[in-house]
Amino acid sequence: MSLLAHVPGTRAYRSRKDAILCMQTHERIQEIVDGEIGPTRAEKILEKHLDACRSCNAEADAIRELKDAISRVAGTADPDLVASLEVLAQRLCEGHDHNPDANPAE
C-alpha cells in the first residue's frame, strides 16, 4: 500500500476507504438486508454504501433472492430440508465453498 492511500483527497485514499467500507458491509450484510442494522452513524454509513456500491448491492440482491426462494418453499417443504438450505445459503454468503460431503455446521 502506498503512502498516498493515507492522504485524504487522493484517489488511493478513496480506493482504500471504499475497500474498507466494502469489507465492513460484507461482514454485516445479513443484518442490513434483514433490516436489523442499528441507528448509529457508522451503521447508516454501511447502509448508504450498500446502496451506492454495485458489488455490495449485487451481493445483497443475491441474499434477498435466496431468502425469497427459501421462504417460497418453506411452507410446503420438509422443515429439515429448509433448515439445510438456510445453512447452505449462509455458508455461500460467507464465502465458503459448497461441499456436499462437508458438515454444514462447520
pLDDT digits (tens, 9 = 90+) for 24-53: 888 888 888 888 888 888 888 888 888 888
**86 Cβ contact partners less than 8 Å away, ≥ 6 residues apart:** 70
- Domain range for residue 23? 3-93
Residue 47 lies in a domain: yes
Residue 99 falls inside a structural domain:
no
DSSP 69: H
Q: In whole angstroms, give the CA distance from residue 83 to residue 25.
A: 25
Q: How many other C-beta atoms lie within 10 A of the C-beta of residue 1?
A: 8
Q: What pLDDT was estimated at residue 104?
A: 47
Q: Residue 103 has what pLDDT?
A: 52
pLDDT, position 14: 72
**104 within a domain of the structure (yes/no):** no
Position 103 in a domain: no
- Alpha carbon distance 45, 47 (integer Å): 5
The total number of structural domains that make up the chain: 1
Q: Is the pLDDT of residue 54 over 70?
A: yes
